[in-house]
């Protein structure tokens, strides 16, 4: 597993990270067995992943607790990235929320603290001031952002030049960030941590038809607003999404590799990608996903994948918000 150093940090992270949202089950994911979650986390570590992404919002601290439970004994060998929620971006709230995250992870220093979504109602100057202070105090080793667009980044950079990462949705059927956000991250030397890299299972080939996708997972702008839990109010592009998935599967079959590996490997080949945060609900899934670390796609295959997914990218347009019609990402 290749590891890369994030800017403004003194640590390296594995190019495949473990995403610890689904392992708490509940909203979006349904029932989850804790033993499977612990096995998934330990398997990830044993297979060379040292980077674990979590958040307060994943089960109100339950995901952070699980990371401690599974990997507390190797705390000094792993890098944990957690997130605080937008309601907590005022100066004193950032401080308080950070103390809460330290408690949930049972640690005395956070490795990477991220702002989960931008909050235009709270001055960025205040939030960045608090993060810089926490870094000086040694409570956090580094800080990053998540779901920050071009304008969000420009605003933040007025007050700090220490942003270590920007976590964004990015995968073969969600390439929207390539229009504006990715070039901005590239210019500013901010690595991207890709979330939902296999589009919550769609890029494993496990669903062959939109109707097979459970409602609580069919919330993204790919799906029709007729689906119960969508918030975007758009027609979606279910037909094009599933046609694109078929094309990706054909390319993966031609090189004799599983679609999930090809999808992760495609991301690792993109410029400005720092790490690919893949969710796994059990050890078996993790084992399959980690194999992508050994897959280097050649230029011809990368080109075919780009061509196959370009029409869907164009159809989805420039709004970088995966879930809402009016982008919360500026």
Catalytic residue positions, numbered:
58
- Cα–Cα distances in angstroms (integers) from residue 102 to residues 45, 78, 83, 95, 138, in the given order: 21, 15, 11, 11, 12
- Cα–Cα distances in angstroms (integers) from residue 39 to residues 23, 102, 140, 282, in the given order: 10, 23, 28, 6
SS3 173: coil
Q: Which is nearer to ligand NAP, 48 or 137 (CB)?
A: 48
Report in angstroms how near the CB of residue 138 gets to ligand NAP at its nearest.
25
Rounded Cα distance between 30 and 10, Å, is 37
Rounded Cα distance between 295 and 286, Å, is 15
Q: Which is nearer to ligand NAP, 247 or 287 (CB)?
A: 287
Q: Are 304 and 247 in contact (CB under 8 A)?
A: no
Which residue pairs, CB below 8 angstroms and at least 24 apart, start in 8-13?
Answer: 8/142, 8/162, 8/163, 8/164, 9/112, 9/141, 9/142, 9/164, 10/141, 11/79, 11/111, 11/141, 11/142, 12/50, 12/79, 13/50, 13/51, 13/79, 13/274, 13/275
Report in angstroms how near the CB of residue 96 gets to ligand NAP at its nearest.
21
Report in angstroms how near the CB of residue 19 gets to ligand NAP at its nearest.
2
List, in sequence order, every residue forming a beta bridge with 80; answer none if it has no partner: 52
Report in angstroms how near the CB of residue 300 gets to ligand NAP at its nearest.
25
Q: Which is nearer to ligand NAP, 130 or 192 (CB)?
A: 192
Q: Which is nearer to ligand NAP, 80 or 124 (CB)?
A: 80
Q: Which is nearer to ligand NAP, 24 or 134 (CB)?
A: 24
Cα of 257 vs its chain's centroid, Å: 23
> Which positions touch ligand NAP (CB under 6 A)?
19-22, 29, 53, 116, 146-147, 167, 195-201, 204, 206, 260, 277-281, 285, 288-289
SS3 78: coil
Report in angstroms how near the CB of residue 136 gets to ligand NAP at its nearest.
25
Rounded Cα distance between 166 and 295, Å, is 25
Which residue is nearest to ligand NAP, using beta carbons?
19
Q: Which is nearer to ligand NAP, 41 or 128 (CB)?
A: 41
Report in angstroms how near the CB of residue 196 gets to ligand NAP at its nearest.
4
């Amino acid at each position: 597993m290749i590891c890369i150093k994030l800017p403004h940090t003194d640590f390296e992270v594995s190019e495949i990270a473990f995403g610890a949202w689904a392992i708490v089950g509940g909203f979006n994911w349904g029932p989850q067995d804790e033993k499977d979650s612990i096995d998934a986390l330990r398997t990830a570590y044993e297979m060379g992943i040292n980077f674990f992404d979590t958040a307060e919002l994943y089960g109100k601290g339950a995901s952070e607790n699980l990371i401690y439970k599974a990997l507390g004994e190797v705390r000094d060998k792993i890098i944990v990235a957690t997130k605080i929620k937008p309601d907590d971006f005022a100066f004193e709230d950032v401080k308080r929320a950070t103390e809460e995250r330290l408690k949930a992870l049972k640690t005395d220093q956070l490795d990477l603290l991220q702002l989960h979504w931008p909050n235009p109602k709270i001055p960025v100057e205040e939030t960045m001031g608090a993060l810089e202070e926490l870094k000086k105090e040694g409570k956090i080793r580094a800080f990053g952002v998540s779901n920050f667009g071009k304008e969000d980044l420009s605003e933040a950079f007025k007050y700090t030049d220490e942003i270590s990462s920007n976590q964004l949705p990015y995968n073969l059927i969600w390439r929207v960030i390539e229009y504006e956000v990715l070039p901005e991250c590239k210019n500013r030397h901010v690595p991207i941590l890709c979330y939902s890299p296999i589009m919550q299972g769609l890029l494993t080939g496990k669903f062959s038809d939109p109707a097979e996708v459970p409602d609580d997972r069919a919330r993204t702008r790919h799906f029709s607003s007729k689906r119960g839990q969508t918030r975007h109010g758009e027609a979606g592009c279910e037909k094009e999404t599933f046609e694109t998935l078929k094309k990706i599967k054909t390319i993966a079959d031609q090189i004799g590799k599983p679609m999930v590996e090809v999808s992760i490997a495609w991301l690792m080949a993109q410029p400005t990608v720092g790490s690919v945060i893949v969710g796994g609900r059990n050890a078996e899934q993790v084992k399959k996903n980690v194999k992508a670390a050994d897959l280097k796609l050649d230029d011809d295959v990368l080109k075919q994948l780009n061509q196959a997914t370009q029409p869907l990218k164009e159809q989805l347009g420039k709004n970088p918000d995966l879930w809402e019609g009016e982008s919360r990402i500026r």
